[in-house]
Chain A
């Protein structure tokens, strides 16, 4: 079990953090959630690890949203390493604006559509997405089709709205 857990960690930790970061928009929170996910995997080693890990992680995202409100305590992490200088303000602003638009578009999707999309982006096949989200495999194509279309359309609307205001 120990070896397999190490392998799981090396194999999926990066992907899990990336997915959770995309899902939550908060890298620190994503890393905490991934950490908790692996801690749970140690306690209850999963048979089908990848869907299990991502399903637990996505459940934690939902739980965490509620728990964070109750939780008064805070953690400060003072990173030891030095950081690079920040980029130019205008470039930084545009980049952040664009990401904010994508995030807003993503927020218009249902949880299921959003999560299916994020899992697919992590290389999940339809069976794994179905296992993770509790869907029938036959429904995954339709779910992804809807998710992709809605995301793109919502993003385009946001962009068009900004262009209109700019003129």
Chain B
């Protein structure tokens, strides 16, 4: 046998040779000092190379500064939300677990309110599903602003600008349009004794009917559905509350210009029970800023629950929630701040309840203040 080549020696060390091949090579090494020397050297290279590669991990094990760490990433995940939301949804969908209103702290209820143009919005607990239902409601990130760069310039100030442009207003929303509510009336979602699944089944979701397609489809759908912004009403606000599972988060003491609902991006493995809800406010400079919330419900949830083993739901829900947050790379209470191309700022976070919230406006400091207030 001629000398053994270096690649074969590495294949031997890596266990990639068959037993017969290895026996032949080892037999050769035993009688060939040249190859044995090369083999010894190769072993040293392999061991040292492995050590060097592993040492690269030290670079990232250094503790971080004590607080206020700011990291910058090159590939912002919100720019591809529909895909990420799909991914996160699928991750979630694999188990019976969920994020949802179940996780909301009863002591800090997600709050209520107000129809259009009230100067005095006060927090009040809205009705919520019974505890037994709560774990069947899920949230996954992703909203209209996340669709594509092409749609981004339309995302910030709401539906007003789209009224003329969008020909196909959502029928269901038109049907629900009604007389404006009294400005000082505080709304709560109507009491609902049904389970979330039942509500999902009966809830009209025209925007999502037959939904299938790519990013541009989702973007178009969002625009179409958002086209009825001028018809905001109390009923519509109640719908918005309902779509978020019984309550909606508002900011005390701020003027609510309008509440909008828009179709969320298409999500595989999940049904969007509620649309994206956008509450448009006015800041001190009379500029608009927006608070968005989104929630989706998993497909096949009832089936999954029926098939679930005897393990308690709560740990599984917690595990699934952790997975989804990990996938999105945003843990509870992390804050993601993005500079948009239209000079607006988006602050996004996942609250302790597992809901994705997003503030969009022009003044980051002001938005941070609002975020603190909401939290």
- Please name all residues of chain B whose beta carbon is closer than 8 Å to the beta carbon of A68 when the two chains form the complex: 74
On whether the beta carbons of A42 and B7 are closer than 8 Å, the reply is: no
Please give me the residue from chain B that is nearest to A126 by CB atom.
B16
- Please name all residues of chain B whose beta carbon is closer than 8 Å to the beta carbon of A86 when the two chains form the complex: 62-63, 65
Which of B56, B71, B328 lies in contact with A99, CB distance below 8 A? Answer: B56
For residue B83, CB closer than 8 A to chain A, the reply is yes
For residue A166, CB closer than 8 A to chain B, the reply is no
- Please name all residues of chain B whose beta carbon is closer than 8 Å to the beta carbon of A146 when the two chains form the complex: 6
In the complex, which residues 73-92 of chain A have their Cβ closer than 8 Å to any Cβ of chain B?
A: 73-87, 92
In the complex, which residues 39-92 of chain A have their Cβ closer than 8 Å to any Cβ of chain B?
A: 39-43, 64, 67-68, 71, 73-87, 92
Q: Bound complex: CA of A22 vs CA of B72, how far in Å?
A: 18
- Please name all residues of chain B whose beta carbon is closer than 8 Å to the beta carbon of A74 when the two chains form the complex: 72-73, 76, 338-339
In the complex, which residues 8-35 of chain A have their Cβ closer than 8 Å to any Cβ of chain B?
A: 9-10, 13, 18, 21-22, 25, 27-29, 31-33, 35
Write out, one digit per residue, whether chain B residues 57-85 have a CB within 8 A of any chain A CB (1) or not (0): 11110111111111111111111100110
Once A28-B72, A73-B76, A126-B16 are accepted as A-B contacts, the answer to whether A152 and B7 lie under 8 Å apart by CB is: no
On whether the beta carbons of A9 and B74 are closer than 8 Å, the reply is: no
| Majority SS at the chain A contact face | helix
On whether the beta carbons of A64 and B70 are closer than 8 Å, the reply is: no
On whether the beta carbons of A78 and B93 are closer than 8 Å, the reply is: no
Most buried by A among B59, B68, B84: B59
For residue B269, CB closer than 8 A to chain A, the reply is yes
For residue B198, CB closer than 8 A to chain A, the reply is no
- Please name all residues of chain B whose beta carbon is closer than 8 Å to the beta carbon of A1 when the two chains form the complex: 90, 269
Please give me the residue from chain A that is nearest to B61 by CB atom.
A95
Q: Bound complex: CA of A36 vs CA of B88, how far in Å?
A: 11
- Please name all residues of chain B whose beta carbon is closer than 8 Å to the beta carbon of A77 when the two chains form the complex: 70-73, 329-330, 334-336
Once A28-B72, A126-B11 are accepted as A-B contacts, the answer to whether A98 and B55 lie under 8 Å apart by CB is: yes
Once A71-B74, A142-B6 are accepted as A-B contacts, the answer to whether A76 and B329 lie under 8 Å apart by CB is: no
CB distance from B18 to the nearest CB of A (A): 12
For residue B333, CB closer than 8 A to chain A, the reply is yes
Q: Bound complex: CA of A73 vs CA of B77, how far in Å?
A: 12
Q: Bound complex: CA of A81 vs CA of B337, how far in Å?
A: 17
For residue B366, CB closer than 8 A to chain A, the reply is no
Please give me the residue from chain B that is nearest to A81 by CB atom.
B331
On whether the beta carbons of B11 and A5 are closer than 8 Å, the reply is: no
Which of A33, A80, A84 lies in contact with B333, CB distance below 8 A? Answer: A80
For residue B48, CB closer than 8 A to chain A, the reply is yes
On whether the beta carbons of A142 and B331 are closer than 8 Å, the reply is: no
Q: Bound complex: CA of A97 vs CA of B78, how far in Å?
A: 35
In the complex, which residues 128-167 of chain A have their Cβ closer than 8 Å to any Cβ of chain B?
A: 139-149, 151-152, 155
Q: Bound complex: CA of A120 vs CA of B11, how far in Å?
A: 12
For residue B86, CB closer than 8 A to chain A, the reply is yes
On whether the beta carbons of A144 and B58 are closer than 8 Å, the reply is: no
Q: Bound complex: CA of A9 vs CA of B92, how far in Å?
A: 11
On whether the beta carbons of A9 and B60 are closer than 8 Å, the reply is: no
On whether the beta carbons of A5 and B91 are closer than 8 Å, the reply is: yes
On whether the beta carbons of A29 and B73 are closer than 8 Å, the reply is: yes
On whether the beta carbons of A80 and B332 are closer than 8 Å, the reply is: yes
- Please name all residues of chain A whose beta carbon is closer than 8 Å to the beta carbon of B62 when the two chains form the complex: 86-87, 92, 95-96
Most buried by B among A13, A39, A41, A75: A75
CB distance from B372 to the nearest CB of A (A): 12
- Please name all residues of chain A whose beta carbon is closer than 8 Å to the beta carbon of B337 when the two chains form the complex: 75-76, 78
On whether the beta carbons of B53 and A79 are closer than 8 Å, the reply is: no
Q: Bound complex: CA of A148 vs CA of B52, how far in Å?
A: 10
Which of A73, A99, A148 lies in contact with B46, CB distance below 8 A? Answer: A148
Write out, one digit per residue, whether chain B residues 81-106 have a CB within 8 A of any chain A CB (1) or not (0): 00110110011011100000000000
- Please name all residues of chain B whose beta carbon is closer than 8 Å to the beta carbon of A2 when the two chains form the complex: 90-91, 93-94, 269
On whether the beta carbons of A21 and B56 are closer than 8 Å, the reply is: yes
- Please name all residues of chain B whose beta carbon is closer than 8 Å to the beta carbon of A149 when the two chains form the complex: 6, 45, 49
26 pairs across A/B with beta carbons < 8 Å? A1-B269, A6-B90, A21-B59, A22-B53, A27-B60, A32-B75, A35-B329, A39-B83, A42-B87, A43-B83, A64-B75, A74-B72, A74-B76, A75-B77, A77-B334, A78-B334, A80-B332, A83-B64, A95-B62, A102-B56, A141-B14, A144-B10, A144-B14, A145-B45, A148-B48, A155-B48
Q: Which A residues lie at the B interface, using CB under 8 A? A: 1-3, 5-7, 9-10, 13, 18, 21-22, 25, 27-29, 31-33, 35-36, 38-43, 64, 67-68, 71, 73-87, 92, 95-96, 98-99, 102-103, 105-106, 117-118, 120-121, 125-126, 139-149, 151-152, 155
Q: Which B residues lie at the A interface, using CB under 8 A? A: 5-11, 14, 16, 42, 44-46, 48-50, 52-60, 62-80, 83-84, 86-87, 90-91, 93-95, 268-269, 323, 326-341
Q: 4 additional contacts, CB 8 Å, given A39-B83, A75-B77, A83-B66?
A: A3-B94, A5-B90, A6-B94, A80-B334
